[in-house]
Amino acid sequence: MKNVYLDNNATTQVAPEVIDAIIPFFKELWGNPSSMHYFGGQVKKYIDTAREQVADLINAEPSEIVFTSCGTEGDNMAIRGTAEALGKNRKIITTRVEHPAVLGPCRHLKEQGHEVIELGVDSSGQLDLTEFRKVLGKGPNIVSIMWANNETGVMFPIPEIAAMVKEQGGVLHTDAVQIVGKIPIDVRKTPVDMLALSGHKLHAPKGIGALYIRKGTKVNTFLIGGHQENGRRGGTENVPYIVGLGQACVLAKKFLQDETTNVAKLRDRLEAGILASCPSTTVNGDRVHRLPNTTNISFQYIEGEAILYHLSDIGVAASSGSACTSGSLEPSHVIRAMGVPFTSAHGSTRFSLSRYNTAEEIEYVIEKIPAIVKRLRDLSPFV
Amino acid sequence: MWDYTDKVLDHFRNPRNVGLIENPDGIGEVGSMACGDALKLTFKLDEKKRIVDVKFKTFGCASAIASSSALTEMIKGMTIEQAEKVTNQDIANYLGGLPEQKMHCSVMGREALEMAIANYRTGKTGKKILAGKVVCTCFGVTEEEIERVVRDNNLTTVEQVTNYCKAGGGCGNCKNDIVQIIERIRKERESKSASTQKPAKLTVLQKVKLIEETLDREIRPMLKRDGGDIELIDISGSRVIVSFRGMCAGCQAAPSTIKDVVEAKLREFVSKDLVVEEDKS
Ligand SMILES: Cc1ncc(COP(=O)(O)O)c(C=O)c1O
C-alpha cells in the first residue's frame, strides 16, 4: 500500500541528515557538557554550534536562544515567565485560535488574577487590527499571538502587530512553531520579544525546541536549577536533540526556497484538484496569508473522522477539526472561532505537506478522494 | 486513532442496509448537523408485523456509521415488540464494544429506533422534538433523556453521561444539573433495592406477587425475544408450576430453561427454596 504523509503540521519525518548528526552523541560523545574534563567538555562546542545554527535561521544572536524540551515549554516560559517578571495584574492579550500551549497558560494566569483578553477572528481566520489597537493600551502589557495557525495555516501580520506593541511599550511573544522553517523569519526586522519554535515541526525529533528571547527582555526562569542555558533553564542539556535541532535548522534554511515554490505548488495542486473533483467543498481560512504547506478543506455534509479513516485505509495520513477527532464533542476551537457553519465544520480536513512529498503522491490523493467523499455522502441523510 | 473492534471497522467500511425505504411503516430521525451526527432510520413490516426491511442513512464518525449499520442487522426479522427492547448496550455488544467516549453513537441508534416505532404506532413525526426540560442547551439533551441513559447503563459520573448522550460536553454549564440527576437516580436505586429485599416470611399472596414481578422483569423479555411466553399456573409450598406459551411450548430447551433460568431467577429474587416445575397437563 502507498504511504502518503500529509500531516506535517502534527509532526514531521526526522530528516536522515538529522539522524546522522544525532547518533554520535549517543554512541561516543555522551559526556556532560558541564564537566571539567575533556571527555565531557568537548561536547559543549557542539551545543554552541547548534545555538548558532538555530539563531541563524531566524537571524537572532546565539545568546538569545534558550533550548527547551518542546514548543509547549517555550510558550509556557514566555507567557508565565513574563507575567511573573512583570508582577501582578497585567493585561494579557491573545487570540481565540491559539494552540492550547498558549491558551492554557493564559487561562491559568487569568485564574491567578491577570486580565486576559482573547481576540476573536473573522471568517477568514484573520484578526481585526483596529480592535487589537483598541484593547492593547499603553504600558508593559503582555501580548501572545501566534505567527501561523496550525489548523488552517493562516498567518497573522506579526510585523504590524510587533510595531504596535513596541509603540505602546508592551511585550510580544509569538508562537512560531508552525512557521519556522516554512517562511523566512528575521527577528532583527520584526521586533518580537520572544518566539517559540519546536523541533518536530521542522524535521528534528519530538521533545526539543527553542525559545528566542530578545536581549533585555525580562523573563523569569521557569526551570530553576543549574546554571545551564546561562541560568535561564536548569537541567543537563539534551545534547543529541540540541545537535539535531541545529542540523534541522541548517537544512530548513537550505530548503526555505523550496517551501514557497515546490511545496506551495504541490499544496495548490492538491487544493485545486480536490475542489475541482468534489462538489460542495470549501477552503477554510485566508488563502493569501497562509503557510505554503497547509490547506484546510471542508467537505460539506460528511464528518471528518470518517474521512480520515477512509483516507487511512488507502494509506493517506491527514487530520481533522471535527468533533470526533478534536477530543471533545465540538469541532475544533479554531474552526468554531471562524464561524464556519456546522454543515462544513464537522467535515473540515487538514492536509499539511512537507518537502518530502512528491507530485505523484498528490496525484494519487486527488484521484482517490472523490470516491471516499461520494461514499460518505451516499450515507449522509443531509445529501 | 480510536481502539475500534474489527467489527466496528467492518460495519464502517461495509455498512449494511444503507438507504431509505420508500413509504416506510416507520421512520425515525435523530441528531443534527450541528451536533455532529445524525441518523435517519426507516423500516417496513410484513403481514406478521415483523421487520422485513430496514435501511438507514447516517452523518457521523466511523462508530456512528457502524452503530447504525449494526442496528439494522439486529432488528431485521424482529417484531416491533422485540425491537423495542433493544438497548444501546445491545448495539454496543453486537459490535464487540465501543470506546466509552463513543457510547453516544449506540444511544443514537436506540433513539432512532424508538422514534421509528413511535412513528409507526402513532403516525406522529419520527423526528425528535425536544420535549420536557432541556438540561444541556449545547446539544439539546432533555432531563428525560439523561435519566434514561443513566438508568439503562447504570451511569455514575458526569463524564459517563457526556460519553453516552453528549450532555455536558459543550460549555459545561449543566454539569451540576447532571450531578443532581445522577444522585437522584442513585437514591431511587438504593431505595428500590431496599424494597426488593425479601421480607423474612412471605405470605402466599406476597409470594405470588413477587413471582409474577420477577417473571415479568427477568424472564418474559428474554422469552418474548424468541416469540414465546411463560405463565404461572399454581404454587404449592415451595413448588412453583409454570407453563410455556407460544414458541417456547414444547421447545427442546424448555427443561433446561426451567432449571437454569426460571428457577435460578426465582430463587434469586423470591426465595432460595423454590423448585420450579413445568405444567404438563
Ligand atoms: C502552533 C503550535 N504551538 C505549539 C505547539 C506545541 O509544540 P510541542 O508539541 O513541541 O510542545 C504546536 C504543536 O502541536 C503547535 O502547532
Residue pLDDT, tens place only, A204-231: 999 999 999 999 999 999 899 999 999 9
**What span, in angstroms and rounded, lies between the C-alpha atoms of B244 and B199?**
29
With a 6 Å cutoff on the Cβ, whether A69 touches ligand 1 is no
For residue B44, is pLDDT > 60? yes
Q: Which residues pair with A283 in a beta bridge?
A: A297
Single-letter residue type at A189: K
Name which residue leads in pLDDT, B161 or B125. Answer: B161
A322 close to B (CB below 8 A): yes
Whether the CB-CB separation of B68 and B109 falls below 8 Å is answered with yes
Query: In angstroms, what separates the C-alpha of A330 from chain B's closest C-alpha?
Result: 7
For residue A306, is pLDDT > 90? yes
With a 6 Å cutoff on the Cβ, whether A99 touches ligand 1 is yes
Reference A350, options A316, A315, A378, A314; nearest CA is A316
Name which of B43-52, B183-192, B255-264 the model is least confident about.
B255-264
For chain B, the domains span 6-122, 134-195, 204-278
For residue B184, is pLDDT > 70? yes
- Interchain pair B36, A346: CB under 8 A: yes
pLDDT at B281: 67
Name which residue leads in pLDDT, B234 or A236. Answer: A236
Reference A348, options A291, A281, A273; nearest CA is A281
List, in order, residues 6 or more apart from A84 with CB less than 8 Å away: A220
Q: pLDDT, tens digit, for every residue of B113-124?
A: 999 999 999 988
With a 6 Å cutoff on the Cβ, whether A176 touches ligand 1 is no
List, in order, residues 6 or more apart from B243 with CB less than 8 Å away: B230, B231, B233, B249, B278, B279
Q: What is the mean pLDDT of residues A82-90?
A: 88
Q: pLDDT, tens digit, for every residue of A37-58?
A: 999 999 999 999 999 999 999 9
With a 6 Å cutoff on the Cβ, whether A86 touches ligand 1 is no
**What span, in angstroms and rounded, lies between the C-alpha atoms of A261 and A281?**
25
Two domains, one topology: B6-122 and B134-195: no
pLDDT at B252: 74
A324 flagged as catalytic? yes
Q: pLDDT, tens digit, for every residue of A157-216?
A: 999 999 999 999 999 999 999 999 999 999 999 999 999 999 999 999 999 999 999 999
Q: pLDDT, tens digit, for every residue of B130-183?
A: 678 899 998 889 999 999 999 999 999 999 999 999 999 988 999 999 999 999
Q: Kind of pairing, strands A171-175 and A142-144?
A: parallel
Tell me the CATH architecture of domain B134-195: Orthogonal Bundle (1.10)
Atom of ligand 1 nearest to the CA of A101: 4
Q: Which residues pair with A155 in a beta bridge?
A: A148
Catalytic residue among B61, B105, B171, B248: B105
- Exposed / middle / buried, residue B28 (Cβ in 10 Å: 0-12, 13-18, 19+): buried
Residue closest via CA to ligand 1's atom 14 equals A10
What backbone torsions phi and psi does residue A188 show, to the nearest 5 degrees? -75, -35
pLDDT at B198: 57
DSSP state of B212: H
Query: In angstroms, what separates the C-alpha of B59 from chain A's closest C-alpha?
Result: 5
Q: pLDDT, tens digit, for every residue of B191-250?
A: 887 766 655 677 888 888 889 988 988 888 888 887 888 889 888 888 999 888 887 777
C-alpha cell at B50: 415483523
Q: pLDDT, tens digit, for every residue of A313-349?
A: 999 999 998 877 766 788 899 999 999 998 899 999 9
- Interchain pair B39, A381: CB under 8 A: yes
Reference B129, options B206, B59, B29; nearest CA is B29
Q: What is the mean pLDDT of chain A?
A: 96
Whether the CB-CB separation of A99 and A175 falls below 8 Å is answered with yes
C-alpha cell at A118: 482573547
Q: What percent of chain A has pLDDT over 90?
A: 94
pLDDT at B201: 73
DSSP state of A59: T
B169 close to A (CB below 8 A): yes
Residues 335..374 of A with a Cβ closer than 8 Å to B: which? 342-343, 346
Domain B6-122 CATH (choose: 2.30.30.240, 3.90.1010.10, 3.30.70.20, 3.40.50.2300): 3.90.1010.10
pLDDT at A59: 98
Radius of gyration from C-alpha coordinates of chain B: 21
**What span, in angstroms and rounded, lies between the C-alpha atoms of A105 and A111?**
10
Distances (CA, A) of B110 to B40, B114, B200, B222: 12, 6, 40, 18
pLDDT at B227: 81
Alpha carbon A81 to its chain's center: 20
Single-letter residue type at B73: E
Interface test with B, best of A7, A325, A330 (most B CBs within 10 A): A330
**What span, in angstroms and rounded, lies between the C-alpha atoms of B255 and B263?**
11
C-alpha cell at B13: 467500511
User: Which secondary-structure segment (H or E) carries A297?
Assistant: strand A294-299
- Straight-line distance from the first to the last Cα atom of chain A, in angstroms, rounded to the nearest whole number: 31
Single-letter residue type at B93: N
Whether the CB-CB separation of B215 and B243 falls below 8 Å is answered with no
Q: Is B242 helix (H, G, I), strand (E, B) or coil?
A: strand
Name which residue leads in pLDDT, A286 or B138. Answer: A286
Distances (CA, A) of A333 to A116, A194, A322, B167, B255: 17, 25, 10, 19, 61
Q: Which residues pair with B32 in a beta bridge?
A: B37
Q: Which residues pair with B145 in a beta bridge?
A: none
B109 CB neighbours in chain A (<8 A) are: none
Q: pLDDT, tens digit, for every residue of B213-227?
A: 889 888 888 888 878
With a 6 Å cutoff on the Cβ, whether A175 touches ligand 1 is yes
Q: pLDDT, tens digit, for every residue of B68-98?
A: 999 999 999 999 999 999 999 999 999 999 9
**What span, in angstroms and rounded, lies between the C-alpha atoms of A21 and A199?**
14
Q: pLDDT, tens digit, for every residue of A241-284?
A: 999 999 999 999 999 999 999 999 999 999 999 999 999 999 99
Q: How many CA atoms lie within 13 A of A332 on its CB side?
A: 28
Whether the CB-CB separation of A317 and A349 falls below 8 Å is answered with no
Whether the CB-CB separation of A329 and B139 falls below 8 Å is answered with yes
For residue A356, is pLDDT > 90? yes
Reference A180, options A77, A252, A87, A251; nearest CA is A252
Domain B204-278 CATH (choose: 3.30.300.130, 1.10.1510.10, 3.40.30.10, 3.40.800.20): 3.30.300.130
Q: What is the mean pLDDT of chain B?
A: 90
pLDDT at B245: 84
What domains appear along chain A, each with residue ranges and CATH number? 4-12+255-379 (3.90.1150.10), 16-252 (3.40.640.10)
B39 CB neighbours in chain A (<8 A) are: 381
